[in-house]
Structure 1
Amino acid sequence: MKYVTIEDIEPGQILGKTVYTANGTVLLSAGMQLTVYMISTLKRIGVTVLYIEDQLFEDVELEEEVVSPKLKQAIFREMYELSQSLKSGKDFNTASIATNVDMLLNSVLENKDVALHLAEIRTADNAEYIHALNVCLISSMIGINMKLNPSQLKELAIGALLHDIGKAVPESRVPLEKGKEHHTWRGYEMLRQKREWSLLVAHIALQHHEQLNGSGEPRGITGDAIHQYAKIVAVANTYDNRISGNPLTGIPPMLPHEACEQLMAASERELDRDILVEFMRIVSIYPNGTSVRLSTKETGVVVRQHRGLPGRPVIRIVRKTDEDLEIKEVDLSSETTVFIEAVLS
């Protein structure tokens, strides 16, 4: 399987990973042969990358999923229904959200040693729900690494999943005083009314755009005034925003290693250093299927990972000779003088 930009997809290629709609139903199933119409439709709805099956890399599988496709679909559906309820002025089901979060946390705990690869294919319609799930996943895994207890993990996970809830709340439903128009205030006001949840859940929605140096929003608070949960969600939110880009502003998505470099550059200035260290321990920097160029000037595809060494995967290099194909693998964990020089589109 290979990770390919939509512009490089050709009719006849086989889709390697299912694409979902906003409400969690299947749009295109893995294994389908792509047609000109399908590719055109995917471009139109905002898809930028796909996983494609390739005979030379048919044994290459995506990293193990932290959460099952079935649970992901349930959470997408939950977030879609929540958003629609809020936009129409209705309430949402906190018990159902809590149940899905419990299942997600159980899954994360069972797979806490799996390197996190955020592989869902985004469209213009499903991007906000994939973002909510990704931020929840990243935050939960960081929280586990930081030894948060079960009660704290649940508070963190619920707040992370609902961190952007304010964007779905109509202004007429939660009128705010002047200077508090930011979506973080709207999310805070909505969530603090939920007595079944800790007030800290609401503070995650309020503070996840704050930065250590006081340059964040909405209040410009600094350092220890920002709750630990919000600092964790800030790292998760920043990373997922970087790798997804913003089609509305024309900001293209970054590759995982580029996003990680930007986050580390913001250490102790905008983002908490200790949390960033834990984040770097869980994320897959060069996901399986990624095409790369090595410092030897050879090009290949990432085929396997080493837990704890996210920057030193195994690369398969395929060369065409006059009579046959020459295939070799370079294990960067043992080839210590060879480095990934660039990620290729």
Structure 2
Amino acid sequence: MKYVNIESVEPGQYLGKTIFSSNGAILLSEGVQLTVYMINTLRRIGVTMLYIKDPSLADVVIEDVVSEETKRAVMQQMGETMASIRSGKDFSTKTVSVTIDHLLSDVMSNKEVLVQLTDIRTKDNAMYVHALNVCMMSVLMGINQGLNQLQLKELAIGALLHDVGKIELITDDSLGDMKRHHTWRGFEVLKSKRELSLLSAHVAFQHHEQPDGQGIPRGLDADQIHLYAKIVAVANLYDNLLFDVSVGRGMLPHEATELMMAMSGTKLDHDVLINFLKIVSIYPTGSSVRLSTKETGVVVGQHRGLPSRPIVRVVKQDVDGVLEVKEIDLAKHTTVFIDTVLM
């Protein structure tokens, strides 16, 4: 499969990964042959990137930390939870807990797989995909931080629901700016659920705080911010940098990680950031790249611990029209670098 910009997709190509709606229902299934109407519809609903099947990359497997079944369940649960909050009704903490258990099981089974945030987003499902990604990355970082199973579940629930305050309606105009912020409102929603850990509620409260004391809503210093919130802050920022297109296209993974490294110790916790860099794929499998050798190819493999040194497959045609295929492992070819990601 190849990960491409929708503007380069042509009718007749085959979809490489299923596209889901906000409630987990399938919009387009993997393997469907794309038509002009389908491509235009995907553009209209906000899809910018997607996977396309490519015969020359048929053997390339895109590894996921979380299964498609679990993703559907999480998105469905998020839809139901947000709908309940939006309408002023109670939401089921029991079903949230069961959904988190399935997600934790998937992550623990695939904890050596590097994170690639390449699930196809639409305007409809973006909030839920964001919550899923932040939760998944937070759990992986929590594992690297040495958290136990109970702590991982507290972290996961807080991460999945870190933005519930964006749904809560403000009806009291007398509230000050701090209590009108979504972090405060999210904290109030979650702390009212006695079945949930208060630490999960503090994730919603503190995930916009910063080690330099310049965060919101309370301007806490580094030692006042809970570890869970420090973890979620990193995951939340990374996902936002990749997919917030309000000021143009989102950043590419290597651009986002470079920016985040510059925030180490000030906007982001240094130790958490180091653990984050161990779990993320800077050049996702399926991405087209140009190497420092001027050759172009597709990323087909990863090395955990060496996120900037993937395996790249280069396909060239010789003078006789015969295709020459070679793979360049950048972990071994230390003088070759990725020069550009081709969109």
Name the structure 1 match of 2:223.
Answer: 224
How far apart in 1 are the matches of 2:182 and 2:175?
13
How far apart in 2 are the matches of 1:251 and 1:139?
27
How far apart in 2 are the matches of 1:275 and 1:300?
33
Deviation at 1:146, TM superposition (A): 0.7
Paired amino acid for 1:169: E
Name the structure 2 match of 1:299.
Answer: 296
Paired amino acid for 2:273: L
Name the structure 2 match of 1:332.
Answer: 330
Name the structure 2 match of 1:129.
Answer: 128
Q: Is the contact between residue 16 and residue 52 of structure 1 (CA under 8 Å) also seen in structure 2?
A: yes
Kindly provide the CA deviation profile for residues 210-261 of structure 1, in whole angstroms up to 9, marking residues without a partner as x.
Answer: 1111222111222111111100000000001011123xx3342111111111
| 1:17 counterpart SS class | coil
| 1:3 counterpart SS class | strand
Name the structure 2 match of 1:35.
Answer: 35
Paired amino acid for 1:96: T
Structure 1 segment 129-208 matched on structure 2, within 5 A: 129-172=128-171, 177-179=175-177, 180-208=179-207
Q: Is the contact between residue 176 and residue 186 of structure 1 (CA under 8 Å) also seen in structure 2?
A: no
Structure 1 segment 210-249 matched on structure 2, within 5 A: 210-246=209-245, 249=246
How far apart in 1 are the matches of 2:247 and 2:21?
22
Going from structure 1 to structure 2, the CA distance change for 1:309 and 1:7 (only over 3 Å counts) comes to same
| 1:60 counterpart SS class | coil
How far apart in 1 are the matches of 2:210 and 2:92?
31
Aligned residues: 341
Going from structure 1 to structure 2, the CA distance change for 1:340 and 1:316 (only over 3 Å counts) comes to same
Going from structure 1 to structure 2, the CA distance change for 1:176 and 1:35 (only over 3 Å counts) comes to farther
| 2:180 counterpart SS class | coil
Kindly provide the CA deviation profile for residues 280-319 of structure 1, in whole angstroms up to 9, marking residues without a partner as x.
Answer: 1111111111011111111111011122211111111111
Paired amino acid for 1:280: L
Identity of aligned residues (%): 58
How far apart in 1 are the matches of 2:71 and 2:298?
27
Deviation at 1:175, TM superposition (A): 7.5
Taking only aligned residues, the RMSD between alpha carbons, in angstroms, comes to: 1.2
Kindly provide the CA deviation profile for residues 63-115 of structure 1, in whole angstroms up to 9, marking residues without a partner as x.
Answer: x2211111110110000111111111111000000111111112211111111
Q: Is the contact between residue 204 and residue 230 of structure 1 (CA under 8 Å) also seen in structure 2?
A: yes
How far apart in 1 are the matches of 2:212 and 2:76?
37
Q: Which moved more, 1:318-327 or 1:82-91?
A: 318-327
How far apart in 1 are the matches of 2:247 and 2:265?
28
Deviation at 1:321, TM superposition (A): 2.7
Tell me the TM-score normalized by structure 2: 0.97
Name the structure 2 match of 1:111.
Answer: 110
Name the structure 2 match of 1:283.
Answer: 280
Paired amino acid for 1:132: A
Paired amino acid for 1:324: V
Name the structure 1 match of 2:306.
Answer: 309
Paired amino acid for 2:110: N
Name the structure 2 match of 1:96.
Answer: 95
How far apart in 2 are the matches of 1:245 and 1:325?
39
Deviation at 1:176, TM superposition (A): 7.0
How far apart in 2 are the matches of 1:178 and 1:306?
49
Q: Which moved more, 1:53-62 or 1:26-35?
A: 53-62
Name the structure 1 match of 2:271.
Answer: 274
Q: Is the contact between residue 212 and residue 223 of structure 1 (CA under 8 Å) also seen in structure 2?
A: yes
How far apart in 2 are the matches of 1:195 and 1:56?
54
Name the structure 2 match of 1:254.
Answer: 251
Q: Is the contact between residue 286 and residue 311 of structure 1 (CA under 8 Å) also seen in structure 2?
A: yes
How far apart in 2 are the matches of 1:328 and 1:110?
32
Deviation at 1:119, TM superposition (A): 2.1
| 1:327 counterpart SS class | strand
